[in-house]
């Protein structure tokens, strides 16, 4: 049955999403077999992931030694020869072991700088997403879409949706980001929103959905919705009323997990007012809320990303919001360029 994960497990089940993030994660935990298996699964699940990893690792091969001699021969950029049973292939440079001694202190900053440079090279429009989406927003952009039946979708920054209306159904796919839905109820034509494996069915309401790494967060402003997740034979079926919020994620074995909360409806979709409340979440959650408002790449050290955090942030000034996150955690914020920020422990 679906379970409610404890805080430590919840942090462990949200792996990186991008090749550069995997590079940092694997460097920080070179002996973590569970992390490596999740990385291998991520790489195998989509040919685009494989291409991204090969491109990233190739660029890192070129950038790493140039940025720091400590990366050369340290094991951080080993090509997999130490583990002949690996499914990663010899062409993919992955971190395998942490260098010992004084030199190791300088490897992580150099690795993060190299990953940041790689990220800058890879910052290109997501053409595949554009092909799938009917409506998209850019960084720091919001847009309201009025549908044929009078329902409305308000897209948060960096969001994308596909819309399919027929005579018997109204189906929305939230491809990326977050959106607020105001729906005109029609029992003859159910209104459903799919975000990854999570499906939400309207029962006459206004509700917010955020597409996340391995699930979604749904919060209801008024009315009611039915939320379902049927991943791998497991099932979550929860009915939400006004003020209810559910966050669906994944356990280490891939089965769905969820956490229900009660929040003030006034706190739902605060992004429409360029604000975010992070309550008993993690640094990663805060950065994920800020990221759609930032023109560029934000890289967070894995050890820092897992730290608990509570705070209120102004999203319209993402640099100040990131600086506030760093201050709250006594962390370091490095502006590598106007488009690349790195957060790490001191």
What are the residue ranges of helices labelled H in the chain?
A: 7-12, 19-28, 33-44, 47-67, 104-122, 127-132, 283-290, 302-305, 318-328
Phi, psi (rounded to 5 degrees) for 68: -160, 125
Mean pLDDT, residues 156-180 taken together: 97
- Answer yes or no: do 192 and 226 share one domain: yes
Residue 59 pLDDT: 57
**Within a domain: 203:** yes
DSSP SS3 for 16: coil
Mean pLDDT, residues 145-163 taken together: 97
How many structural domains comprise the chain? 3
* Beta pairing, strands 135-136 & 160-165: antiparallel
**Within a domain: 129:** no
- 257 secondary structure, DSSP code: E
Better-predicted residue by pLDDT, 178 or 16? 178
- Answer yes or no: do 241 and 294 share one domain: no
Residue 87 pLDDT: 29
Residue 234 pLDDT: 65
- Answer yes or no: do 156 and 250 share one domain: yes
pLDDT tens figures, 237-281: 999 999 999 999 888 777 888 999 999 999 999 999 999 999 999
CA distance 286 to 107: 26
**pLDDT above 90 covers what percent of the chain?**
48
The half-sphere exposure of 283 on its side-chain side, counting CA atoms within 13 A, is 26
Residue that is last in its domain, among 206, 233, 262: 262
Residue that is last in its domain, among 214, 240, 262: 262
Residue 24 pLDDT: 75
Helix, strand, coil fractions of the chain, as percent rounded to 5: 35, 30, 35
Mean pLDDT, residues 121-145 taken together: 84
Confidence category of residue 114, pLDDT binned at 50, 70, 90: low
**Within a domain: 303:** yes
Residue 312 pLDDT: 97
CA distances from 237 to 138, 321, 322 (A): 33, 36, 36
pLDDT tens figures, 187-207: 899 999 999 999 999 988 999
**Within a domain: 255:** yes
**Within a domain: 280:** yes
Residue 50 pLDDT: 83
Q: Where are the beta strands (DSSP E) in 125-235?
A: 135-136, 143-146, 152-155, 160-165, 170-176, 178-182, 191-195, 198-202, 206-212, 215-222, 224-229
**Within a domain: 268:** no
**Within a domain: 97:** no
CA distance 115 to 74: 16
Residue 119 pLDDT: 58
Domain extent at residue 29: 16-47
Question: Which run of H or of E encompasses 310?
Answer: strand 308-314
- Answer yes or no: do 258 and 319 share one domain: no
Burial per residue of 211-229, b for 16 or more beta-carbon CB atoms within 10 angstroms, e otherwise: bbebbbbbbbbebbbebbb
CATH of the domain at 185: 2.60.120.1440
- Answer yes or no: do 182 and 224 share one domain: yes
Residue 19 pLDDT: 78
Residue that is last in its domain, among 203, 229, 262: 262
CA distance 116 to 175: 25
Residue 106 has pLDDT above 50, yes or no: no
- Answer yes or no: do 255 and 212 share one domain: yes
Confidence category of residue 79, pLDDT binned at 50, 70, 90: very low
Report for 84-93, 157-166, 222-231, 334-343: range of highest mean pLDDT: 157-166
Mean pLDDT, residues 85-110 taken together: 40
CATH of the domain at 323: 3.55.50.30
Q: What is the mean pLDDT of the chain?
A: 80
- Answer yes or no: do 256 and 139 share one domain: yes
Residue 85 pLDDT: 29
CA distance 101 to 93: 22
pLDDT tens figures, 24-75: 787 777 888 888 898 898 888 888 788 778 766 655 654 444 444 343 333 3
Residue 76 pLDDT: 32
- Answer yes or no: do 254 and 280 share one domain: no
Neighbours of 104 (CB within 10 A): 14
How far is CA 241 from its chain centroid? 26
**Within a domain: 196:** yes
- Answer yes or no: do 158 and 240 share one domain: yes
Residue 251 class from Cβ within 10 Å (0-12 exposed, 13-18 middle, 19+ buried)?
Answer: middle
- Answer yes or no: do 139 and 257 share one domain: yes
- Answer yes or no: do 170 and 289 share one domain: no
CB 342 within 8 A of CB 326: no
CB 205 within 8 A of CB 225: yes
Residue 118 pLDDT: 59
């Amino acid at each position: 049955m679906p379970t409610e994960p404890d805080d430590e497990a919840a942090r462990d089940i949200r792996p990186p999403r991008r090749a550069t993030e995997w590079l940092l994660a694997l460097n920080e935990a070179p002996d973590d077999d569970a992390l490596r298996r999740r990385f291998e699964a991520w790489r195998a699940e989509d040919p685009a992931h494989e291409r991204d990893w090969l491109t990233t690792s190739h660029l890192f091969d070129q950038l790493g030694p140039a940025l720091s001699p400590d990366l050369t021969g340290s094991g951080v950029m080993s090509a997999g020869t130490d583990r002949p049973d690996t499914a990663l292939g010899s062409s993919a440079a992955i971190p395998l072991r942490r260098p010992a001694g004084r030199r190791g202190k300088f490897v992580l900053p150099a690795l993060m700088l190299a990953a940041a440079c790689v990220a800058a090279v890879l910052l290109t429009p997501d053409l595949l997403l554009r092909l799938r989406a009917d409506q998209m927003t850019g960084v720091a952009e919001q847009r309201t879409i009025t549908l044929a039946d009078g329902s409305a979708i308000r897209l948060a920054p960096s969001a994308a949706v596909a819309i399919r209306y027929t005579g018997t159904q109204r189906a929305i796919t939230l491809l990326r980001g977050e959106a607020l839905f105001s729906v005109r109820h029609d029992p003859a034509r159910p209104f459903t929103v799919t975000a990854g494996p999570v499906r939400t069915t309207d029962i006459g309401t206004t509700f917010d959905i955020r597409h996340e790494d391995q699930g979604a967060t749904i919060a209801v402003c008024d009315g009611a919705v039915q939320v379902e997740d049927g991943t791998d034979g497991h099932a979550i079926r929860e009915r939400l009323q006004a003020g209810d919020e559910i966050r669906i994620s994944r356990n280490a074995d891939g089965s769905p997990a969820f956490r229900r909360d009660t929040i003030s409806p006034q706190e739902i979709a605060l992004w429409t007012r360029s604000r975010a409340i992070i309550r008993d979440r993690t640094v990663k959650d805060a950065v994920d809320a800020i990221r759609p408002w930032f023109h560029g790449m934000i890289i967070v050290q894995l050890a820092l990303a897992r730290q608990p955090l509570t705070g209120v942030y102004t999203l319209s000034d993402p640099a100040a919001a990131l600086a506030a996150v760093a201050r709250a955690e006594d962390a370091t914020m490095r502006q590598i360029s106007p488009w690349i920020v790195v957060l790490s422990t001191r």
